[in-house]
Amino acid sequence: MSNPYRGTIKVRFADTDANGHAFFGNYFVFADEVLGDYWAELGWDVSDVVNQDYLTFTVNANMDFLGESLAGDTLEVEVKSERIGNSSVVIGFSMRNLR
């Protein structure tokens, strides 16, 4: 639908679990950080959300894991609008470890 936006995230030690892997819930945080960067690049000031004519809500989020990420790894996060409706948008993410 559109060209994907790509950003990178450095996995910090604080992002990992007791096994040294990135904690699964943090992948949603990584995606959200890059989405915020994408919106900022488009000119949307997310810090001023109360003065916007619209709000955004996440109503569904799921993730499949194909590999591990460790502290110090750099992830490339791709954001793409997959479907735009009248009152909704489906945003897809993919991540790959650049290690």
- What's residue 34's pLDDT? 96
Residue 6 in contact with residue 76, Cβ under 8 Å? yes
Q: Is the sign of the CA dihedral 39, 57, 15, 48 positive or negative?
A: positive
Q: What is the distance between the alpha carbons of residues 90 and 48, in angstroms, rounded to a whole number?
A: 22
Residue showing tokens 């479907």? 83
SS percent in the chain: helix, strand, coil, step 5: 25, 30, 45
Assign a CATH topology to domain 5-97: Thiol Ester Dehydrase; Chain A (3.10.129)
- What's residue 2's pLDDT? 67
- What's residue 1's pLDDT? 54
Q: What is the distance between the alpha carbons of residues 78 and 87, in angstroms, rounded to a whole number?
A: 23
Judge if pTM exceeds 0.95.
Answer: no
Mean pLDDT by runs of 10 across the 99 residues of the chain is 89 97 97 93 78 80 95 97 89 95
